[in-house]
A and B are shown apart, each in its own frame.
Chain A
Amino acid sequence: DAGVIQSPRHEVTEMGQEVTLRCKPISGHDYLFWYRQTMMRGLELLIYFNNNVPIDDSGMPEDRFSAKMPNASFSTLKIQPSEPRDSAVYFCASRQMNSGNTIYFGEGSWLTVV
């Protein structure tokens, strides 16, 4: 089975530009998570969805960040406008109900804002 698929793998953008990261979860998984990894803060949960509905977005740093899940097989994380401090690796992950809370990660989207 295919794993979690993220795109783009790498993105370099200028400050002020809009960035959209995309994720396709594992088929059949009910939960989708967006994590951010930085040297300073480690891995932190930004938001998660259950059955396409956002459940907890308390980790979203500010209004410049937004996430959507229009259907069970697609989610986006958007940053507008982007700032250099948004540079990080953004991971999408998914899990299935009754899987003992095990989540499976995509390969990450490496974002650099210059």
Chain B
Amino acid sequence: AQKVTQAQTEISVVEKEDVTLDCVYETRDTTYYLFWYKQPPSGELVFLIRRNSFDEQNEISGRYSWNFQKSTSSFNFTITASQVVDSAVYFCALSETSGGSNYKLTFGKGTLLTVNP
């Protein structure tokens, strides 16, 4: 069964600090996808990134970067020079590609990030 663990329930930082959100996953599939979604205070869920299990290259998009390590089953998300607008709940999610879980996204419990001015 697939499982996603976000051990950090809440994180609070001061603006301009770097912050890393942890995500650990469990799956028996060899092919799967990992995702990060952002849920700002307004409530919508915004897709941020998708990685497939065969691509372990780290990715950078502006102030956001993602570190995918299959050896530790982790897919961590770092925000550099955080801003108040980054305050949100961030969800990590996993989607397997075989069996009955195909196409289903399993979400972690989320990490509430508060960036203080």
Contact = CB atoms under 8 A, between A and B. Distances in A.
Contacts, number: 49
Nearest to B110: A42
Contacts of B46: 105
A101 B45 CA distance: 16
Interface in A85-114: 89, 91, 93, 95, 100-108, 110
Contact of B107 (A31, A43, A95): A43
> Looking at chain A's contact residues, is the secondary structure mostly helix, strand, loop, or mixed?
strand
A101 B44 contact: no
B107 A101 contact: no
Which of A43, A48, A95, A100 counts the most B-chain CB atoms under 10 A from its CB? A43
Interface residues of B, number: 22
B107 A107 contact: no
Interface of A: 31, 33, 42-43, 45, 48, 50, 55-56, 89, 91, 93, 95, 100-108, 110
Interface of B: 33, 35, 37, 42-47, 50, 52, 91, 95, 97, 100, 103-105, 107-110
